[in-house]
């Protein structure tokens, strides 16, 4: 499979700096040697191995663009994207854990946290503490600001009451960015971001969802019952939580794009290798033009998706507008991931439908890409608004 893997990853190497290529090589080796042996067990048991998460911290993969002063690696946003892609090539569940930590949680703290907040939390997030991002609710998915969770000002603290759903990393996390409305009469302009720690009174991590794919990644409900949050744990400003959410999620979509191209790449590597092993009518199926054309199409789609994700990340690092490019990257990469993983199952034939081979897991893991951090329809809406506005 090494030759196939190289064939699927040679072209983009020219866009990497020396430091980026070194990081990519390090993570690729880590994913192959340390993560891959655990993938099936983690999927079957539906939880991430604690030791592998610790190794992610030891390699500084959980604080890639947190400054060195706080224990991070002082890397770029693009480096986070490299990490998510390379890990997701082997396991999309661990990939999304690293993604949420870097592109959502760390980003939110670095952009919106004051000096006190950064001192108290960034070093923990960089070195040993998993974070989670709690926006979604039962009635607040695509309509992200229809929040039912309330925050009541009590002078030196807020009391939060509500229920969050679909919260990635919830089982592993000790630090949560929780969105609640502190002023109902102001509508979405009352939404505020709060920093909630697992040990705060009135805060509980509830039911863990039993999911189709990325099963090792925890997705849980959060219960807030008169949860007491100190005033100094407001992230940003009261009433500006909608800005925190929108701007952070725009960046997070690039991370999901990286997860999708990573898992599609991993699936295609297996598919290419198996097509050379599986014989029908006296020769490997890779010798049949029908299979060759399918592989060529998948490789082309994957290459296009990767370059879209990379471009969006580069624009973000350059401080240039990237909203349209992020939406396009997320939309297209999730579509490619679903298509590629489905075709790879077919290349494996009957074996592709069994858990004895890796194809079915990649297929299951791919579906979430069209759903979380903005559905495909929401990405199309964003793209259309921008394109129509440019005419």
pLDDT digits (tens, 9 = 90+) for 144-177: 788 999 999 999 999 999 999 999 999 999 999 9
pLDDT for the residue 391: 47
How high is the mean pLDDT of the chain? Answer: 95
Q: Is the pLDDT of residue 4 over 50?
A: no
SS3 state at 128: coil
Residue 285 predicted with pLDDT over 50: yes
Higher pLDDT, 146 or 279: 279
Q: Does position 11 have pLDDT exceeding 80, yes or no?
A: no
pLDDT, tens digit (0-9, with 9 covering 90-100), for 229-277: 999 999 999 999 999 999 999 999 999 999 999 999 999 999 999 999 9
The residues, any chain, with a CB within 8 Å of residue 240's CB and separated by 6 or more, are 192, 193
Residue 175 contacts residue 212 (beta carbons within 8 Å): no
Position 222 pLDDT exceeds 70: yes
Non-local (6+) Cβ contacts of 64 within 8 A are 72, 73, 75, 76, 79, 80, 83, 102, 106
Residue 3: which pLDDT band, with cuts at 50, 70 and 90? very low
The per-residue pLDDT for range 17-44, each reduced to its tens digit, is 999 999 999 999 999 999 999 999 999 9
Instruction: For residue range 296-324, list pLDDT tens digits in order.
Output: 999 999 999 999 999 999 999 999 999 99
pLDDT over threshold 60, residue 12: no
> Measured between alpha carbons, how far is 225 from 223 in angstroms, rounded to an integer?
6
User: 74-133 pLDDT, tens per residue?
Assistant: 999 999 999 999 999 999 999 999 999 999 999 999 999 999 999 999 999 999 999 999
Specify the pLDDT at position 142: 84
What structural domains does the chain harbor? 2-130 (1.10.540.10), 132-240 (2.40.110.10), 243-390 (1.20.140.10)
Local confidence band at 8 (pLDDT 50, 70, 90 cut-offs): low
Specify whether the CB–CB gap between 196 and 227 falls below 8 A: yes
Name the residue among 195, 188, 362, 332 with its Cα closest to residue 271.
Answer: 362
- Classify residue 185 by burial, with Cβ atoms within 10 Å: 0-12, 13-18, 19+: exposed
Rounded CA-CA distance 384/365 in Å is 28
Catalytic annotation present for 373: yes
Nearest to 261 by CA among 312, 311, 315, 308: 308
Max CA distance (Å), the chain: 79
pLDDT for the residue numbered 6: 54
pLDDT attached to residue 7: 57
Of 269, 301, 360, 373, which is the active-site residue? 373
């Amino acid at each position: 499979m090494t030759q196939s893997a190289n064939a699927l990853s040679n072209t983009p190497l020219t866009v990497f700096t020396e430091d980026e290529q070194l990081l990519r090589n390090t993570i690729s080796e880590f994913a192959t040697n340390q993560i891959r042996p655990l993938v099936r067990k983690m999927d079957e048991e539906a939880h991430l191995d604690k030791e592998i998460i610790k190794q992610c911290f030891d390699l500084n993969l959980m604080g890639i663009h947190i400054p060195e002063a706080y224990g991070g690696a002082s890397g770029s946003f693009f480096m986070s994207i490299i990490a998510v892609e390379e890990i997701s090539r082997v396991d999309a569940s661990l990939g999304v854990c690293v993604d949420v930590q870097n592109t959502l949680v760390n980003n939110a703290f670095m952009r919106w946290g004051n000096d006190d907040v950064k001192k108290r939390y960034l070093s923990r997030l960089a070195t040993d503490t998993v974070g989670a991002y709690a926006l979604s609710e039962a009635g607040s998915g695509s309509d992200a600001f229809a929040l039912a969770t309330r925050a009541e000002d009590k002078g030196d603290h807020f009391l939060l009451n509500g229920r969050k759903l679909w919260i990635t990393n919830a089982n592993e996390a000790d630090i949560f960015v929780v969105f609640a409305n502190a002023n109902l009469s102001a509508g979405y302009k009352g939404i505020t971001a709060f920093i909630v720690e697992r040990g705060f009174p009135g805060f509980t991590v509830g039911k863990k969802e039993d999911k189709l794919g990325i099963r090792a990644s925890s997705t849980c409900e959060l219960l807030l019952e008169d949860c007491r949050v100190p005033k100094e744990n407001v992230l940003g400003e009261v009433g500006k939580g909608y800005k925190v959410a929108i701007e952070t999620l725009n960046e997070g979509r690039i991370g999901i794009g990286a997860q999708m191209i990573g898992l599609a790449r991993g699936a295609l590597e297996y598919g290419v290798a198996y097509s050379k092993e599986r014989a029908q009518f006296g020769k490997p199926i890779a010798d049949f033009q029908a299979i060759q054309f399918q592989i060529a199409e998948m490789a082309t789609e994957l290459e296009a998706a990767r370059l879209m994700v990379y471009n969006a990340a580069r624009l973000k690092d350059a401080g240039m507008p990237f909203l349209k490019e992020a939406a396009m990257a997320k939309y297209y990469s999730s579509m490619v991931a679903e298509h590629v993983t489905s075709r790879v199952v077919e290349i494996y034939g009957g074996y592709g439908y069994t858990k004895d081979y890796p194809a079915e897991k990649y297929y299951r893991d791919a579906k979430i890409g069209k759903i979380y951090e903005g559905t495909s329809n929401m990405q199309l809406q964003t793209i259309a608004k921008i394109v129509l506005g440019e005419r």
